[in-house]
Structure 1
Amino acid sequence: MHLNSYDEWSPLREVVVGSALNYTSHERELSFDLFFHDNLIRSEWYYPRLAVSPSDGSSERLAIKQRYVDELNEDVDGIASTLESLGVTVHRPLDVRSDTASVRTLAWEAAVVPPLNVRDNTLILGDEIVETPPMVRARYFETQFLKPIFARYFAEGARWTVMPRPLMTDSSFDLSYAESSSIGGPTEPIRNPQPSAYDVGFEMMFDGAQCLRLGRDIVVNVSTVNHAYAVDWLERHFEGRFRFHRVHRLSDSHIDSMVLALRPGTLLVRSEAVAEKLPAPLRSWDMIIPPPPEGNNFPTYADDDLVLTSPFIDLNVLSVDPDTVLVNEACPELIKTLEQRKFTVVPVRHRHRRLFGGGFHCFTLDTVRDGGPEDYLG
């Protein structure tokens, strides 16, 4: 089928589901710590510790226990199987080879991350694939694993664009959000940025998961100059085709554990505070704010396991159509809330979402939906 994806809820026909094969480690360095800034903290509702990290600008590679990776792969395969059982065509990216340890550019070297959270480095707007400028060095070449899929859609008539790639030296990053945000607890110290011969100042960096797609209208979370530059580019590139609405500092980056559109007129929202920051036309939509979990629905981890997401990660659901939603089976309060609103909930297992930084929306990239460029915001 031809590439066509304008929203988050219309009937889903084709989707990419990520891969976690040979996911061996997290590399703690400046870009990683900035990306996960909001969750590398300590408070009463986050995992109760601060990780220790070097302050001299160096990096450290933290191994992930193989048991967690094996169980993650089982769960991701289960997501793919569930979608296929619902009549959705599922595409999978190339796997990372076990002998691919790192990538190198002019300015730095980093570990390779598998194409698991495929929502991040690609933005699908209508009939166009946009490879976005990455925010984490280890993910710099991640879209290469999706090339065969993109090439097939291009052969069928899709547009295919790559946004300018950042050099990603330490000086490329706007540190202001991390330096001013505490999110209810002490933050990790920012690693000491180091000068580079390739410094060019702030550059555009941006993830597709910062966007809420509503037909012609795209709501975008902007927290840094890096994000703002990227949205400037998107506005110029899509002038006359899409309208971009900026919201500021909903989070360090992604919007899809803050607010998701389940159908026209209905939003799943983390809190009243998030709802108040949305564009005025959206504030008139029906807001579903689920209750907090009554118990701890998360695995218990050891002190050397790096936790990357907040307990709100289970709001990261995936709509298959305006009435059907994939939800983590470990989140009964959310399931009950959605069923009370007359949604058909498909429970799916996803155990280690806090270790790998993503939920069902993150792990998927919807490439074909029935919806078009409707005007939902007026």
Structure 2
Amino acid sequence: MQLNSYDEWSKLKEVVVGTAINYAAHDRELSFDLFFHDNLKVRSEWYYPRLSTAAVSAQDGERVRHRIKQRYLDELNEDVEGIVDTLRTLNVTVHRPMTLDPSTAEVRTLAWSAAVVPPLNVRDIALVAGDEVIETPPMLRSRYFETQFLKPIFASYFKEGARWSAMPRPLMTDGSFDRSYVLSTTGGPTEPIPHPKTHCYDVGLEMMWDGAQCLRLGRDLVVNIANENHAMACDWLERHLEGRFRIHRASKLSDSHIDSMVIALAPGRLLVRSRAVADYLPKEMRNWDMIVAPEPAKNNFPIYDDDDLLLSSLYIDVNVLSVASDVVLVNDACPELARILEQNRFQVIPVRHRHRRIFGGGFHCFTLDTVREGGPEDYLS
């Protein structure tokens, strides 16, 4: 079938679901600490363990490996397969990336090396804009070549007529990163972000941006911009898509990804973390119906050990996946969210996903929809 995905809600026909096979650890280094800044800050939340600085921080630019407990990985793999099975029962064709070979220990470039992670959160590494798949320039060094795991899928769509492009890959030296968001955020990170080291391949700030920073609304794209790296990538996107899509910039709606802040469920209908989200959206969207997600409850989440590294926010379960404009996959650990959506006339399909905070993604993160029935409609005029 030909690539065709313009929005977040029309009937889903084909989707890529990520894989966590051979996911072993997180590497704490500069790009990791910058990206997960908002969730690595020392907190007093009732279930958020304080990190031990000596145990997990990266000192003097060195990588520090934080291993993931095997039981979490085993349960994650069970839950991912459950997502796949659910989608197939809904007559959705599911594509899977190539799996990470355990012998592929790290990626090395001109300027750095990093451990490789498997293609789990596939929403981040590509943007599907209508009949085009765009590989995005990652913000984490460990994900630099992650789109390679999806190459057979993208090649298949290309053979059927899809456009296929890649945004320029950054060198990603320490000097490539705009740290202004981190330095200006109240509370600061768990450990101070070190001053960037100079490198012979420094070229200044570079474009870095994930597909999950984009909300797709037919011919309109709402793009979250929190720093200069994002802004440069959005400049490229505007020029590349000129005449086909309209780009709307949302300034600092979140530190990076938009899909735990706001999800478009149907034309004129949004699921939001709070009503304050409206202030960041294009003015044409501010009168849309906003369904406010309930505050997370303590028993929505597993209880973790003090040495477990948690990467996603308390509101990760806003990260739902629409199978149609009235059908939504929701974490079965969140009955409060399911009730609110049902009260708003959505059919809720509960699916298990336990360790979304450990692995930094919900249903929307784990999926990349490649074929939906919708087209380039104008929902904002």
Tell me the TM-score normalised to structure 1 length.
0.98
Give the conservation status (yes or no) of the 8 Å contact 2:27–2:114.
yes
Give the conservation status (yes or no) of the 8 Å contact 1:56–1:192.
no
Aligned to 1:100: 104
1:231 maps onto 2:226 in alignment: no
Whole-Å Cα distance in 2 between the matches of residues 367 and 23 of structure 1? 25
Q: Tell me, what secondary structure is at the counterpart of 1:123?
A: strand
| 217, 222, 225: which one aligns with 1:222 | 225
Whole-Å Cα distance in 2 between the matches of residues 193 and 308 of structure 1? 23
1:321 maps onto 2:324 in alignment: yes
Whole-Å Cα distance in 2 between the matches of residues 313 and 365 of structure 1? 17
Shift of 1:19: 0.4
1:257 maps onto 2:257 in alignment: no
Aligned to 2:167: 163
1:74-113 Cα offsets, whole Å, 9 max, x none, are: 1001101100000000000000011111110010000001
Whole-Å Cα distance in 2 between the matches of residues 350 and 110 of structure 1? 28
Superposition RMSD in Å? 1.2
1:56 maps onto 2:60 in alignment: yes
Whole-Å Cα distance in 2 between the matches of residues 370 and 124 of structure 1? 14
**Structure 1 alignment gaps of length 5 or more:** none
Whole-Å Cα distance in 1 between the matches of residues 289 and 348 of structure 2? 18
Aligned to 1:361: 364
Give the conservation status (yes or no) of the 8 Å contact 1:220–1:247.
yes
Output aligned runs, 1:285-296, within 5 Å: 285-296=288-299
1:140 maps onto 2:141 in alignment: no
Aligned to 2:339: 336
Give the conservation status (yes or no) of the 8 Å contact 1:29–1:191.
no
In structure 2, give the amino acid aligned to 1:243.
Answer: R
Give the conservation status (yes or no) of the 8 Å contact 1:169–1:199.
yes
Whole-Å Cα distance in 2 between the matches of residues 244 and 188 of structure 1? 36
1:111 maps onto 2:112 in alignment: no
In structure 2, give the amino acid aligned to 1:346.
Answer: I
1:17 maps onto 2:20 in alignment: no
Give the conservation status (yes or no) of the 8 Å contact 2:106–2:114.
yes
| 246, 252, 275: which one aligns with 1:243 | 246
Q: Percent identity?
A: 71
Whole-Å Cα distance in 2 between the matches of residues 2 and 329 of structure 1? 33
| 207, 211, 219: which one aligns with 1:208 | 211
Query: Residues 196 and 185 of structure 1: is their aligned pair in 2 closer, same or farther, counting only changes over 3 Å?
Result: closer
Query: Residues 44 and 278 of structure 1: is their aligned pair in 2 closer, same or farther, counting only changes over 3 Å?
Result: farther
Whole-Å Cα distance in 2 between the matches of residues 331 and 147 of structure 1? 35
1:151 maps onto 2:155 in alignment: yes
Whole-Å Cα distance in 2 between the matches of residues 260 and 313 of structure 1? 11
Shift of 1:333: 0.7
1:277-321 Cα offsets, whole Å, 9 max, x none, are: 211111110000022134431111112110001110000000000
Give the conservation status (yes or no) of the 8 Å contact 1:261–1:268.
yes
Aligned to 1:47: 48
Give the conservation status (yes or no) of the 8 Å contact 1:12–1:369.
yes
Shift of 1:6: 0.2
Give the conservation status (yes or no) of the 8 Å contact 1:298–1:351.
yes
Give the conservation status (yes or no) of the 8 Å contact 2:330–2:350.
yes
Query: Residues 51 and 259 of structure 1: is their aligned pair in 2 closer, same or farther, counting only changes over 3 Å?
Result: farther
Give the conservation status (yes or no) of the 8 Å contact 1:40–1:51.
no
Shift of 1:186: 5.9
Aligned to 2:131: 127
Query: Residues 261 and 51 of structure 1: is their aligned pair in 2 closer, same or farther, counting only changes over 3 Å?
Result: farther
Aligned to 1:8: 8
Shift of 1:368: 0.1
Whole-Å Cα distance in 2 between the matches of residues 232 and 320 of structure 1? 31
Shift of 1:51: 4.5
1:303 maps onto 2:299 in alignment: no
Whole-Å Cα distance in 2 between the matches of residues 294 and 64 of structure 1? 24
In structure 2, give the amino acid aligned to 1:6.
Answer: Y
In structure 1, give the amino acid aligned to 2:76.
Answer: L
In structure 2, give the amino acid aligned to 1:18.
Answer: G
Give the conservation status (yes or no) of the 8 Å contact 2:127–2:134.
yes
Query: Which 4+ stretches in 1 moved above 3 angstroms?
Result: 184-188
Give the conservation status (yes or no) of the 8 Å contact 2:182–2:189.
no
In structure 2, give the amino acid aligned to 1:29.
Answer: E
Query: Residues 185 and 172 of structure 1: is their aligned pair in 2 closer, same or farther, counting only changes over 3 Å?
Result: closer
Whole-Å Cα distance in 2 between the matches of residues 189 and 126 of structure 1? 41
Give the conservation status (yes or no) of the 8 Å contact 1:55–1:192.
no
1:350 maps onto 2:353 in alignment: yes
Give the conservation status (yes or no) of the 8 Å contact 2:322–2:328.
yes
Whole-Å Cα distance in 2 between the matches of residues 159 and 145 of structure 1? 18
